[in-house]
Structure 1
Amino acid sequence: MSSFLSKLRVSITLWIFWALLSIRNLHIARVIFNAVTKPTSSQKPWMVTDPQEKTCVWVLEGAASLKQEELYDRIRKADIVLVWVHGGAMVFGSAAQNMEPFIKWIKLFKEKKSLNVVICGVEYRLAPENPVPAQFEDVATAYTHIVKDLGIPATKIILGGDSAGSLLGPEAVIYSREFNHLLPNNGYQLPIPAGYVLSSPVAEVLNPCPSMEENKRKDYNPPTMKYLGSYVNSGPSGFQPKPWVLFNDDYNLKANAPKSVLVFVGGHEIGRDENILIAKRFSDGGVDTTVITEQYPHNWFLLGPSVVDEPSVNEKADEKFVNWVIESIAKA
């Protein structure tokens, strides 16, 4: 595809995203979003909901045809388990919305490194029907099932997510370890995984955010979209401390974080400065933090060719991601 056609495709995609996210009626926005992101006929054979724990949607080759024991055997024998929490400002989206990058990653690890990777997409309850801490509870439940019920060593697990979902995993680990009475885990403390991957992390804590004005015409996220902050702050009074607790200096971040964190930042996103702030929080806390920045809009790493007009950018980012995951597993 020529450079002109690539840029035209990206421009049209960004406009469509902007139009979707500008819809004020959440029900209509969800219907459209789910229609756009639903798995294709070729992707469906790769996914299956866990027979015992519905918060886990497993992605691996031939998943849909596997019986329970066959599925669990494949998961246990995998070299790496990637647990992914989807974005969508906690108000829309699903575990299946990222099937394209999931399948691409599985194939890359197999073809380039001869490693078997399985992915668990976390199907968490959405706000506002399910207020905080429902989302954190569901992430903790999925992770607990993986490490406790299935017996997967935390040293084989990479916990990742995109946009608002990227912080649900680290926060669930912190709540479980420091404030476990707040989550329905019967006092079980989640083990620290081998690494965190945060793709365009969003918390809506930086106000004002200089990049909001600078990038308001470059990003597809409307500057007026403020779902996340309002729902996080409207949680029950008994749920203390409120998210995002990783910004709280009253606990030891390094003691509750993996050795390695990878952060993807969009240089053209309105939340760029907040992405950098979150990465800095981990780095200042003594965590080995790698930041990959490209001059593209929000969540460019997951959306890939949809918003990135230069194929080499996607290829380079995927290669760095694969190498970082392998290095993090080795260090765990």
Structure 2
Amino acid sequence: MSIFSDFKRWVTVWALTFAFSFPKASTPRRVIYFLRLFLFQGRRDWIHKDETHGYWIAEDLKKNAKREAIQDRISEANIIILWVPGGGFRFDLGQLYTSTFATWMRALDADKNIKSMVFVADYKHGPDNLFPAAIKDVGDTYHWLTETLNIDPKKIIIGGDDAGVAIALDTLLNKIDPSKKPAGMICASPYTGLEAGGESWRTNLGLDILNENSITRMENAYMGIESEDEVIEYEGGLSPFAYLRDSVDLGSLLPSRMLVYLGGKEVLLEEGGLLANRAARSGVQVMVVQEPSGIHLWSMFPDIFIKQDDVKQYAVDRFVDFVAGTIKK
């Protein structure tokens, strides 16, 4: 790797480790903003911001971003990926992933002649906007895609990384009619709400960008801080992470196909494995891609966190296979 690549990796690891664990949310948001501004400016011509729900990503989208032109591209696309970006419920990592999304879309087109677009959802972040604020926003975005833009749910793959997976799961459970659920789901380094602990925590703590403080910040930003004297009551009588209950049949709320990216050096490795296993037992067809050297979010930053070209290519190939199989099904 070049000196610049090594520098970019060092800065990215430092910035993410700091952002996930720092107590106040405003400072991590500024850190992520400057990280994007100085090191993640690639493919800016692929992005078009929607007025209310988030932003579209597609090749050379800025050249013709009129509403009619975007609607034409949506109609021509074989698949629309709705992405719920992570950031520990406190900040948005979505615009750091643009180059990765571009790689995915170009590979789909080149390998399978599959036309695709990505829509990255905006949602309110904690701790000022606790559950269910985020799932209300993502649910509204899904309904906007399917009802206002008339996109067939069978044409949608919902995806998320980090805490975005928890938001996507809570949205599927509480805000999306099972008869209108998407065709597939992608989970990259998923956080699902389980408490810190387990073998992967004992093995990988200190190797990953997440630590116990990171999980505490996540929980507080999504659920609020409970005291011994007060139990938080959430709007509408909903509960965060309700999909973790044994009484919930994941197969009824999840799409029929799921792709899960895990890293062998993630503290959340076991958590992601439990989600994949439980989904499979519920009848979901699950594809797991586990990279032994991968840390948290390695699949979203492959050019930074992964040195071997064959490993990066394998991750992209599995994505292409998953999407192609989802369309075929």
Check whether TM > 0.5: yes
1:228-239 pair list within 5 angstroms: 228-234=218-224, 236-239=233-236
TM-score (norm 1): 0.88
Counterpart in the other structure of 2:228: none
1:22 deviation in Å?
A: 4.1
* Residue 111 (structure 1) aligns with: 110
Q: 1:136 to 1:116 in 2, by over 3 A?
A: same
Q: Are 1:217 and 2:206 an aligned pair?
A: yes
> Separation in 2 of the partners of 1:305 and 1:279?
25
The secondary structure found in structure 2 opposite 1:262 is strand
Name the aligned partner's letter for residue 298 of structure 1.
H
Distance 1:9 1:133 in 2: 35
Q: Is residue 143–residue 190 contact of structure 1 (8 Å, CA) maintained in 2?
A: no
Extract unaligned runs of 5+ from structure 2.
225-231
Query: What CA distance in whole angstroms lies between the structure 2 residues aligned with 1:242 and 1:220?
Result: 28
1:232–1:28 distance in 2 versus 1, CA, 3 Å: closer
Aligned to 2:181: 192
**What is the DSSP-based 3-state SS (H/G/I as helix, E as strand, rest coil) of the residue aligned with 1:299?**
coil
Alignment of 1:129-278 (within 5 A): 129-177=128-176, 191-225=180-214, 226-234=216-224, 236-278=233-275
Structure 1 residue identity aligned to 2:242: V
Corresponding residue pairs, total: 318
- Contact 1:76–1:150 (CA<8 Å) still a contact in 2? no
Q: Distance in 1 between matches of 2:144 and 2:138?
A: 10
CA change 1:302–1:168 in 2 (3 A) is same
The CA distance in 2 between the partners of 1:94 and 1:149, in whole Å, is 27
Confirm whether residue 288 of structure 1 aligns to residue 302 of structure 2.
no
- Offset at residue 245 of structure 1 (A): 2.0
**Higher mean C-alpha displacement, 295-304 vs 240-249:** 240-249
Separation (CA, whole Å) in 2 of partners of 1:201 and 1:49: 26
The alignment's C-alpha RMSD in Å is 2.4
Deviation at 1:16, TM superposition (A): 4.5
The 1:50–1:26 alpha-carbon spacing in structure 2 relative to 1, beyond 3 Å, is closer
Q: Secondary structure at the match of 1:300?
A: coil
The answer to whether the 8 A contact 1:102-1:119 is kept is yes
Instruction: Map Cα deviations across residues 167-217 of structure 1 (whole Å, 9 max, x no partner).
Output: 32232121125xxxxxxxxxx777111111000100231442331221112
CA–CA distance in structure 2, aligned partners of residues 116 and 215 of structure 1 = 38
- The question of whether the paired residues in 1 share the 8 Å contact of 2:189 and 2:262 is answered with yes
Shift of the 238–142 alpha-carbon distance from structure 1 to 2, 3 Å rule, reads closer
Identity of aligned residues (%): 25
In the TM superposition, residue 12 of structure 1 has moved relative to its aligned partner by 6.0
Alpha-carbon displacement from aligned partner over 1:269-322 (angstroms, at most 9, x marks no partner): 111111111112211222111111112100111111211121211110100111
Are the counterparts in 2 of residues 10 and 309 from structure 1 also a CA contact under 8 Å? no
